[in-house]
Amino acid sequence: MPKLFAVVVATVAEYYEYKKEHPEHDLAQLAWFEEQAKKGVLLCCGPFVPPDGTGIWIIEAETIEEAKAIVDTSPRAKDGMLSPAARVVEWNIHIGRDLFIKE
């Protein structure tokens, strides 16, 4: 049975400068989000407010290793823009599970 994983996103200090120098990065990340959503892997995502390079992605996967492997395919990870402080944790949702997982 699939599980939900919260990716608590944190970016490296150079993230905003990198985005300025590499505008294609955000386009690639957005395309990755859309691709993962179409596959049914990424259930929702978004930045925290005010924008500071942090946010959350909710991923459906069988194991935490699979969830981490999915995150590692993102442009944010591939470009080295994810901070070591970013975390992938299993999310034991109590209320609203039916919004994410159709059993």
Contact 33, 79 (CB under 8 A): no
Length reported for the chain: 103
End-to-end, the C-alpha distance of the chain in Å comes to 9
pLDDT digit string, tens, across residues 64-96: 999 999 999 999 999 999 999 999 999 998 887
Mean pLDDT of 49-74: 97
Q: Which residues of 28-40 are buried (b: 16+ CB within 10 A; e: fewer)?
A: bbeebbeebeeee
Confidence bin at 42 (pLDDT 50/70/90) = very high
Confidence bin at 18 (pLDDT 50/70/90) = very high
Measured distance CA(63)–CA(2) in Å, rounded: 8
- Percentage above 90 pLDDT, the chain: 85
pTM, entire model: 0.91
